[in-house]
Structure 1
Amino acid sequence: MAQRHPDPTDPRSGHAGPAPTGDTLAGYLRAQATEFLRALRLHRETGSGANGPDGSADAARALRRSARRVSASLHTFQSLLDAEWSDAMRPELAWVSGTLAMEHAYTARLERLLTALHRLSGSTALPSQGPVPAAGRPAAGPRTPPAPGAERGNLTVGAAKAGALLDRQLTLARTRAHSTALQALGSSRFHAVADRVAVLASEVPLTATATATDLRPLAAAAEDRLRDAVTALPLITAGNPYNAAALIHGLAPDTAPHPQDAPWHQVRLLLRLHRYAREAVRGEGTGETAADPRLRAAGLALNRHRDASEAAAAAAQAARTPRIAPATAYALGVLHADQRHEVEAARFAFQQAWQEETVCAS
């Protein structure tokens, strides 16, 4: 019998040695399923304990992380998995991850906006009527404040009321998201998902040919989709210090998401799929420490882009509140413009990180 030689290593996969196959994927999925079950147990143990809020937040974050990785792997390597099972599992995992993410998103958005108001108004205290909750996302970096004079006075006067308005709106949204998450975790739908994940922790429904199929072409296809999406981005515009077109419709009556942002959000999702595919090919249990520094920098820039985009939308939505004072509306308008500046800065940061990644890969 002729000796079988391993396939050449795909330099983009970072995998050395024999070709990773469906067995490698099965090990990765079992590890992520185990992480999901461990986080679920932690959430149940800490939910009503003395340190419940912090423990529950950490557990919810771990649940989201493992659910995203399993769902992404089912998407990228769907041809190696039972189609009926995969098609039924993916939307349920997306529902779990999305539902658990909302409370954290509103908390971080409120902190970002109040911190920006504080910075822009030059006040000595955050312009809020109550304490600002902790959040896991970093606040926006320093920006050049508005010119002194009447504008500064109007901004300072309106900042407190704008902060109070944002505090009321986003705290209400966060409370509703918290209730929704609690209801979801106690629902029969979630228990069904947990049962399926428990089965996945011991048995992965691979196809008959999966154990002989190389994972690297499928992972390379995920990378190609990412590169195609990045190529379609207006990176030349992102290199400009200011994109005035991004503000034209910011405070218009139309509440639809900003049309410029959608391609960038899509690239963020594709970058995540690419990262998780690399993890699966390498058989890594987690990518938090092993991720390529350049990919991590690009991902952080896109996260910052998403945060600033959503914060700008929240400021614009608050500015549409009926019968608010002119000073309040002015402060919210300045805040909206500031966050759109942050969007542009994040696009530029992604451009720099991606160009470095492309040069190093060539």
Structure 2
Amino acid sequence: MAQTKRETERKYAAPAANDVSWLPKLTGVDPVVSLADRGVQELDAVYYDTDDLRLTRTSASLRRRTGGTDAGWHLKLPLPGDSREEIGAPLSEGVPAELRELALSRTRGSPLRPVVRIRTTRSLRQLLDAEGGVLAEVSTDAVHADSLLDDGERTTWTELEIELADSGDPALLDGIEKVLHSNGVDRAQDPSKVVRALTQTTPVLERTQTARDETTPGTAGDHLLAYVGRLVDALTDLDPAVRRDTPDAVHQMRTTARRLRGCLRSYRSVLDREVTDPIRRELSWLAGELGAERDHEVLRERLTSGVLELPGELVLGPVTARLQTWDTAQRAEGRRRTLEALASPRYLDLLEKLRTLADTPPLRAKAADKSKKVLAKALLKEYDRLMQRMDRALDMPSGAERDAAIHYARKAAKRLRYAAEAARPALGKPARRLGKRVKAVQQVSGAQHDSVVARDALRRLAISAHAAGEPGFTWGLLHGQERATASAREGQLPQAWARVRAAARRKDLR
């Protein structure tokens, strides 16, 4: 089983390996009180990547390292700020299967091979607090890098690395940086050793010009592609977290897929639908496969909390045990569908198409128009679609047909919200206000739909309990509570919708 940790560090262009005149001054950075010399380490790392360096281009790295205190395989994935997630596995000859799988959203199935060897002579020191606890490590590294690609070269340099101890305060890095800067030690230009090594030794890392780079700033195409690019990157980054069952990762990935799908639908005047419609269908498939696990998470929390909130005398029979048995079976099925989807050729093909979409987008003529005009028109079109569905749903009497109509309108509300989110940088406050009010409609109608789904699950649980000779009283009681909840949410919907109508004034959006 791979081990993971959060790594927070900054790199600096050290003047020379033997110039450490500034080191004693670090003891003046609160709460550092002393400096401990930990000797010299010899590190030898071989970095793996695809032939076109897909890991490196997405700010990730995979290495096999010997020497030091953490020899083994390390997959490093980007996190916000100065942090990265490091996933480690024991030394082996080939790339560990788990790390290969966690890198799959970046490699998209392309083979991994050695691309550069980096040998480092590291002079290590630790910054200690008053109790002798380690606050950070200061490493002065003499680096020798040899490209393992065709026509690759060799390079050497010296750098300084400051890494926080586990649970360290990031503010400490700011204090250290002030001391370093005052002593002529500035941040390194490259974010990691492997990026610097490949940049200096391998022509293949040179950034290629894409169609996205050629869009004119301020146009609809430029604006929309920046948004699409962020979503594609987010989907790529979420993949390893979903595979490792990180809390809320499935939800975030499903929402990202839906945002992308909605964006490609709402802004078909900018992107050619002959290219994007097939991608939308595949995003719908992915969201559906993730939905089995995510929908069960929501339903489980709802039913569990419902049982826990009942007085003990109203919980008749083995209610908790039956709920746990149901949960175990449904959760396993949802997890199976998620992992099978991420392991499928269909998913890899989707990732490839999304990367191509982000780099070489199929722009239409309107992509060259000013963003405000194009985005506002698309936003109002989504609003008109929602208005038709919502007015129809609110005019219907309560019952199954109205439940379905509200759910249908909720889907349109979600698309309008995502369209407003994409348009917000260009349209400003009106789009932000509209998106906020549509979100309220989505939440109210979503709560109503969740109650409908919960009632169906409770009915099935009650049938199973009855067949086993167990009391059905508690399941019926919860069913009644859910019906009352749905009625209350329906009552809130007209007011929430009226606020959306007030925010969708065409003159403001235009």
Q: Which residue of 2 aligns with 1:66?
A: 256
Q: Which residue of 1 aligns with 2:393?
A: 233
For residue 171 of structure 1, the aligned residue among 311, 328, 337 is 328
Alignment of 1:37 with 2:236, yes or no, is yes
Q: Which residue of 2 aligns with 1:186?
A: 343
Report the secondary structure of 1:272's partner residue. helix
For residue 117 of structure 1, the aligned residue among 282, 296, 307 is 307
Residues 99-146 of structure 1, C-alpha deviations (whole Å, 9 max, x = no match) = 1232122122122112212323x02xxxxxxxxxxxxxxxxxxxxxxx
TM-fit CA distance, 1:96: 1.2
Alignment of 1:157 with 2:299, yes or no, is no
Q: Which residue of 2 aligns with 1:334?
A: 477
Of structures 1 and 2, the one scoring higher in RCO (CA 8 A, sep 6+) is: 1
Cα pair 1:20 1:215 within 8 Å, conserved: no
Structure 1 consecutive aligned stretches of length 4 or more whose deviation exceeds 4 Å: 41-44, 359-362
Percent identical residues: 27
CA distance in 2, matches of 1:61, 1:27: 23
Alignment of 1:23 with 2:222, yes or no, is yes
Q: Which residue of 1 aligns with 2:108?
A: none
CA distance in 2, matches of 1:354, 1:100: 29
Opposite residue 84 of structure 1, the aligned amino acid is E
Alignment of 1:88 with 2:278, yes or no, is yes
Cα pair 2:316 2:473 within 8 Å, conserved: no
CA distance in 1, matches of 2:393, 2:286: 30
CA distance in 1, matches of 2:256, 2:315: 44
CA distance in 1, matches of 2:465, 2:308: 24
CA distance in 2, matches of 1:89, 1:65: 16
Q: Which residue of 2 aligns with 1:315?
A: 458
Residue 20 to residue 296, structure 1, CA distance change in 2 (3 Å) = farther
Cα pair 2:466 2:472 within 8 Å, conserved: no
Q: TM-score, normalised by structure 2?
A: 0.50
Structural mapping, 1:213-224, within 5 Å: 214-224=374-384
Q: Which residue of 2 aligns with 1:269?
A: 411
Residues 261-284 of structure 1, C-alpha deviations (whole Å, 9 max, x = no match) = 111111111011101111222348
Opposite residue 172 of structure 1, the aligned amino acid is A
Residue 275 to residue 228, structure 1, CA distance change in 2 (3 Å) = same
**Bigger proportion of residues as helix:** 1
Residue 62 to residue 317, structure 1, CA distance change in 2 (3 Å) = same
Cα pair 2:375 2:423 within 8 Å, conserved: yes
Report the secondary structure of 1:233's partner residue. helix
Cα pair 1:308 1:343 within 8 Å, conserved: yes
In structure 2, list runs of 5 or more residues that go unmatched: 1-216, 427-431, 506-510
CA distance in 2, matches of 1:305, 1:20: 39
CA distance in 2, matches of 1:356, 1:223: 13
For residue 369 of structure 2, the aligned residue among 198, 212, 222 is 212
CA distance in 1, matches of 2:315, 2:229: 54
- Structure with higher Rg: it is 2
Residue 220 to residue 360, structure 1, CA distance change in 2 (3 Å) = closer
Cα pair 2:385 2:412 within 8 Å, conserved: yes
Residue 278 to residue 19, structure 1, CA distance change in 2 (3 Å) = farther
Residue 189 to residue 73, structure 1, CA distance change in 2 (3 Å) = same
CA RMSD of aligned residues (A): 2.8
Residue 306 to residue 209, structure 1, CA distance change in 2 (3 Å) = same
Report the secondary structure of 1:57's partner residue. coil
CA distance in 2, matches of 1:282, 1:103: 31
Cα pair 2:416 2:438 within 8 Å, conserved: no
Cα pair 1:76 1:222 within 8 Å, conserved: yes
Cα pair 2:242 2:249 within 8 Å, conserved: yes
Opposite residue 461 of structure 2, the aligned amino acid is A
Number of residue pairs matched? Answer: 281
TM-fit CA distance, 1:178: 0.3
Report the secondary structure of 1:344's partner residue. helix
Bigger drift between 270-279 and 209-218 goes to 209-218
CA distance in 1, matches of 2:219, 2:469: 62
In structure 1, list runs of 5 or more residues that go unmatched: 1-17, 48-52, 124-152, 238-244, 247-257, 285-289
Opposite residue 381 of structure 2, the aligned amino acid is A
Alignment of 1:293 with 2:436, yes or no, is yes
CA distance in 2, matches of 1:352, 1:178: 38
